[in-house]
Every structure is written in structure tokens, then in C-alpha cells.
Amino acid sequence: MGQAGVVTLLLAIGSIACAAISRMGLAMLAMGVVVVRKDGSRAGRAQCFWRALVAWSPCGMGIAAAFLAVGMGGPVPHDRVLSTIGAVIACALGAFGCIAVLSALLPERGIPDRLAGTWLVPR
């Protein structure tokens, strides 16, 4: 489980860095999508960075919460690890459920786009 968290964290960092550097990630490039502003011009690096940061924030918060709850050093009782993992999984599922409901109610733009003031359009 720790390895999956580290790989996900590295993926998030890489995605956020790509958004800041090139204003798009590999997934956007592969899907032929561009991030634009309200007036239709291409979004700036700061907006793309903020959008990626918001999009990946649940992942980062979940990993940080797991590390804080379990503890960073020393031996940890087995029951504490299991209860922490269960709590983190329950919170993650709850967050994904809320995001799914919001996405169904607001299909034209996602939460990161609304907070960053951007739109995704075909290239």
C-alpha cells in the first residue's frame, strides 16, 4: 500500500510539474485537449499549475493524512495501522462519491476548472 502511495504521489508531482512547464500533461496531449480561459485564449502557466494542484489535492491530502495518522517513525501497533488505513479508505471513497455527484450535477466543467477559471476544449 505504501508503494502505491509513493507511485501515486510521484505521478501527481509529475503531472503538476508538466502543467506548470508546458500548460498540459501527457493525458491532455494524448486526448487532444487544451486548457483555455474564458475569452478562448490559452490559459497561462499559473492557471494550469493551479488547476493541476486542485485536481491532485485529494490524493496528496489522503497520503499526508495516512502518514500523519500512522506516524512517521518508530514501531506502530498493528491495530492502529489497520484502523488508520480503513479510515483513510473510507474518507477517500466519501470524497470520490461527493466528486462523482458534483460531476453529474455540473457536467460542463469540473471542479478544478471552476476554481481555476479555465475550460477544457478540443485541440
| pLDDT tens-digit map of 56-88 | 887 777 777 777 666 655 566 666 667 777 777
Question: How do residues 96-115 score in pLDDT, each as one tens digit?
Answer: 788 778 878 888 888 889 99
Whole-number pLDDT of residue 54: 87
Q: Is the pLDDT of residue 117 over 90?
A: yes
Whole-number pLDDT of residue 37: 95
* 65/80 Cα distance (integer angstroms): 14
Question: How do residues 4-26 score in pLDDT, each as one tens digit?
Answer: 777 877 888 888 898 889 888 77
Q: What are phi and psi of 108, to 5 degrees?
A: -75, -30
Q: Please give the residue range of the domain that contains residue 36.
A: 2-122
Domain count, the chain: 1
Q: How many CB atoms lie within 10 A of CB 56?
A: 19
